Amino acid sequence: MADSLINYPAMLQRALLNLVREVLVDTAEVGLPGDHHLYITFSTRHPEVVVPTHLRSRYDEEMTIVLQNQFWDLECDAESFSVTLRFDGEPARLTIPFDAVRSFVDPTASFGLKFEPVEAEPEGDEAAGSEEPPEGIPAGGAQILSFEPRRPR
């Protein structure tokens, strides 16, 4: 069977990361509805992650943050989000590129996503002349961990 020239795993991962972005944009604008809360795990080794030094030394590979009752100044752009949280009573500003996100869970909605690290795709002439799909994207790329649609009440 021939390898697909359409990189579906990378496309799916980008689409699901955009879903995460949309949830965070809505949360920044109107807050979290009801009992919703978000667990976001990200790679602290990603070169564009910005976290205070004391947190980076404590979480040298991955870190999970919770957006629930106490978070401030949530901002999103196309590539990343920033939020202020308290750690040991002290505020800390974090900036997390969406490419660094490893999982996103909203337990209230029984919804979860898991993301695999993806190497950068070739750009420009290198991409145009390439007959092979970009390397480094594991089978599955992004996975929906759980999703139980709720029936209207």
Report residue 93: phi and psi, to 5°.
-95, 130
Give the per-residue pLDDT at 127: 42
Residue 56 backbone dihedrals phi, psi, to 5 degrees: -65, -40
Question: Is pLDDT of 90 > 50?
Answer: yes
Query: Model confidence at 59, in pLDDT bands (50, 70, 90)?
Result: very high
- Using a pLDDT cut of 90, give the percent of the chain over it: 67
Residue 82 has pLDDT above 70, yes or no: yes
The CATH superfamily of 8-118+136-147 is: SspB-like (2.30.30.220)
pLDDT value for 96: 98
Residue 139 pLDDT > 50: no
Amino acid at the residue 75: E
List the chain domain ranges. Answer: 8-118+136-147
pTM equals 0.79
Does residue 130 carry a pLDDT above 90? no
Q: What is the mean pLDDT of residues 22-39?
A: 96
Question: Strands, DSSP E only, in the chain?
Answer: 38-43, 62-67, 72-76, 80-87, 90-97, 101-106, 111-115, 142-147
Comparing 3 with 139, the larger pLDDT belongs to 3
pLDDT given for residue 140 in this prediction: 44
Report the mean per-residue pLDDT for the chain. 83
Model pLDDT for residues 92-127, shown as the tens digit of each residue: 999 999 999 999 999 999 999 999 876 544 454 444
* Distance (Å, whole) CA 70 – CA 66: 9
The Cα 27–Cα 50 span in angstroms is 21
Q: How confident is the model at residue 131 (pLDDT cuts 50, 70, 90)?
A: very low
Token pair of 51 as six digits: 């976290």
